[in-house]
Structure 1
């Protein structure tokens, strides 16, 4: 039985996601879908528009059979660790046969050879990245340049290819290609038997701020439409009816929409009350950014997260890097808990957010095949990573438009969603 794995955020689930899910099942000839989904905070460091429970429900309506949560320790990380954590979860199920991801390339022909080369030279690659960062480049640009240098100077000292290096750099400057490369590297480093597949991203780019076609728009564009005068009605052409219904229900109940500004009060409390030394102890506060934060705070005209990020942003420090840094400060994530040595160990559990009738059968199979504990109720399991997930969920619920005690402590009681 083929089971295809997807690594997703669904913020919110839209028509492009529906296309990807259907194509993944077709390409893998799969009878079931397992989705590893970020929780309430996402890879770019931003909060999801609605909770992980609502988004997991969208996934079930779309045809996913089992939804697992990507722990916050991996969900809000650069591509390398995001991919490592998600691939490790799929591998740990013992039932996933394929991993299908979206990419601009739409083929593994260029990505797979590059992944094989880069997965085996971690030390050299990290040194090259450090050299690129020293020039003032952002991390994504530094990684693309360092990877291109590895192609130009292959292991063993053979002749490099300038054309190959240029092609590699162009390939990796596209965000879905870059993330897909990290999925491939993660599978190779894990020694996983999961077979990779890719689907060409259609209709809209990952960061496109406006709709790209009559029916497909990026999640970024859809959130922009929802935030505008047209609200959900403006986004309706780009999302399935069940997504619209779930979003409308969550908004009516005061559980959304959630944005970075929903966290302005607690975030600024931490920034204003913390010393530079205390700020420096948080994950992603690097290279003296604690000094820059303290310098910029008095210069703000308004205490908004948006203005703070704009003040802090430079060529070196991207919006995404700064958002993740602010998230780790908000959630008080220390450097030790998020150190590479800790992340390399992989997640310690499989947290189930939702399952279908077929997903129930997958869980039965996983009891014999899974290499990690299966968690269906957080209160019944203890793990440092799960504690971070619960804390993140509570902080998220505390920032909802209508504060509700049952939502703040929902993670302790909530069984997996079923439909």
Structure 2
């Protein structure tokens, strides 16, 4: 029996995700698919557009057999920490044979070469990256420039393929997945699938199918960004049928029936709480949060928050060398009380302390028994009983997930007057 692990957000689930699941099984010969999925807050520094239980059901209805929640301290972090947390969770399960992820280049050899380059990079690489950042470049661009700078002309020629791919978003994550596997000395084999048609930031809604050079028919695939743009825009929502060809039937039915009942949730729904935190804490206190530098804290403290929504605030404090995503992540960390020292302590010890199940297919329930036998972390099936399974560090991590979900549920209630069961009452999603 073979099992492939996927690291996901499904924000929301679309045809590209379904294609990824099908190709991952085809590429690996896997019998089962296990997904590690971000909970109610995601890596781009925003709340998920729909809650984690809805997204779990989207996954289970479209080929995933077992869904685990990625703890929020990792799901909202930079690529390095996001990858380390997710890969560690899959590794701790003790039954995963492969990790399969999407990438712009679709070439695992180049991605492994890039991972090796950064693992074995010269000591001055980090200093060079910070030098380029000070010159006004964002971190991804600064890292690419630093890599090119330290290579000799001959090395640049030999590594032209590497230099070409290291600043693209899915490639960056893929490189970090491989680095994480190496760091924790995992036997899980990494594989990649070339991202098809819609780019990560592509805002076009595609409605056509296509045929590949080998005659394979692919469904209409639009990016999650493009789909969210429709779902979050009150004017565009009138044209909801435009996304019908981009998402599986179950997902479209959910989105149609639950609009303005359980979703859309955006960062603006947390605006008052975020601004309260920013106003109530000193510059020195703000600097303790993950992704929030001294310069960023200065900018926040020198900005009038009175009439700003979060989108405007983020643009006001943005600088040339800090991406908008980095700012959103910093603000989410303030909202959720995620501090730099805390995540460093987690990583210095066990990285991941539990595997919390969000959902499973009945025919895959034996996977849970296998994980309990072969894995080396507690499997959480009922939050109310977790204190019997976890030490203080594990409970600290889980309590952050619980707090984040209760805050999200409160935002849903305030906006739509819809009650989502709290973490102690909501059971595992079963299909």
| 1:64 corresponds to | 64
Q: Distance in 2 between matches of 1:392 and 1:125?
A: 36
| 2:347 corresponds to | 343
Q: Does 1:361 align with 2:355?
A: no
SS in structure 1 at match of 2:330: helix
In the TM superposition, what is the alpha-carbon distance from 1:403 to its structure 2 partner? 4.4
Q: Does 1:53 align with 2:47?
A: no
Q: Structure 1, unaligned stretches of length 5 or more?
A: 154-158
Q: Does 1:243 align with 2:237?
A: no
| 2:288 corresponds to | 281
Q: Does 1:184 align with 2:184?
A: no
C-alpha contact 2:66 2:361 (8 A) present in aligned 1: yes
Q: Does 1:328 align with 2:333?
A: yes
Deviates more, 1:380-389 or 1:222-231: 222-231
TM-score (norm. length: structure 2): 0.89
| 2:401 corresponds to | 389
| 1:417 corresponds to | 429
Q: Does 1:216 align with 2:228?
A: no
SS in structure 2 at match of 1:380: helix
SS in structure 2 at match of 1:10: coil
Q: Distance in 2 between matches of 1:147 and 1:371?
A: 37
| 2:273 corresponds to | 266
C-alpha contact 1:7 1:36 (8 A) present in aligned 2: yes
| 2:212 corresponds to | none
Pair 125,390 (structure 1): closer, same or farther in 2 beyond 3 Å: farther
SS in structure 2 at match of 1:67: strand
Q: Does 1:377 align with 2:371?
A: no
Pair 412,122 (structure 1): closer, same or farther in 2 beyond 3 Å: farther
TM-score (norm. length: structure 1): 0.92
In the TM superposition, what is the alpha-carbon distance from 1:86 to its structure 2 partner? 0.6
Q: Structure 2, unaligned stretches of length 5 or more?
A: 209-219, 388-394
Q: Distance in 1 between matches of 2:176 and 2:74?
A: 13
Aligned residues: 407
C-alpha contact 1:148 1:166 (8 A) present in aligned 2: no
SS in structure 1 at match of 2:429: coil
Kindly provide the CA deviation profile for residues 332-365 of structure 1, in whole angstroms up to 9, marking residues without a partner as x: 22221123x5335311110100000233111011
Q: Distance in 2 between matches of 1:76 and 1:211?
A: 26
SS in structure 2 at match of 1:410: coil
| 1:304 corresponds to | 309
C-alpha contact 2:287 2:294 (8 A) present in aligned 1: no
| 1:156 corresponds to | none
C-alpha contact 1:43 1:75 (8 A) present in aligned 2: yes
Q: Distance in 2 between matches of 1:55 and 1:272?
A: 34
In the TM superposition, what is the alpha-carbon distance from 1:131 to its structure 2 partner? 3.5
Q: Distance in 2 between matches of 1:59 and 1:95?
A: 20
Q: Distance in 2 between matches of 1:33 and 1:237?
A: 24
Kindly provide the CA deviation profile for residues 12-34 of structure 1, in whole angstroms up to 9, marking residues without a partner as x: 00011111110000001010000
Deviates more, 1:308-317 or 1:210-219: 210-219
Deviates more, 1:348-357 or 1:132-141: 132-141
Q: Does 1:173 align with 2:167?
A: yes
Q: Does 1:107 align with 2:107?
A: yes
Q: Distance in 1 between matches of 2:139 and 2:122?
A: 16
In the TM superposition, what is the alpha-carbon distance from 1:123 to its structure 2 partner? 5.5
What RMSD over aligned residues (CA atoms) do the two structures have, in Å? 2.0
